[in-house]
Amino acid sequence: IWRSPVTTCFSLLRTQPQECISLYTEYDYDKKGKMRFKNSMTDEAWKSNGLGDARVAYAWAESMYQNMFY
């Protein structure tokens, strides 16, 4: 069984005021076998559930830094 990889991207646009954009997506194949995006959420969707907050980008970056260097 094939399981879709997940792509998550956070980009911090500015720090004053704090603003970021984000993208989350999975992948799928259509009936012709072409790959397509599935279950995509962009910054607009993430604003309503709290994940579009710049604090999320900082927390993610801190966790990546800790995983790489500690």
CB atoms within 10 A of CB 52: 20
User: Do you find a cis peptide bond into 17, omega within 30 degrees of 0?
Assistant: yes
Strand order of the β-sheet with 6-15 is 6-15, 18-29, 35-42
Which amino acid appears at position 28 of this protein? D
Q: What is the pLDDT of residue 58?
A: 77
Q: In the structure encoding, which two tokens stand for residue 33, read together?
A: 């076998």
Record the pTM.
0.48
Q: What is the pLDDT of residue 54?
A: 66
The 10s digit of each residue's pLDDT in 2-61 is: 777 888 777 777 777 777 777 788 888 889 989 888 888 776 655 666 655 667 777 878
Q: What is the pLDDT of residue 59?
A: 82
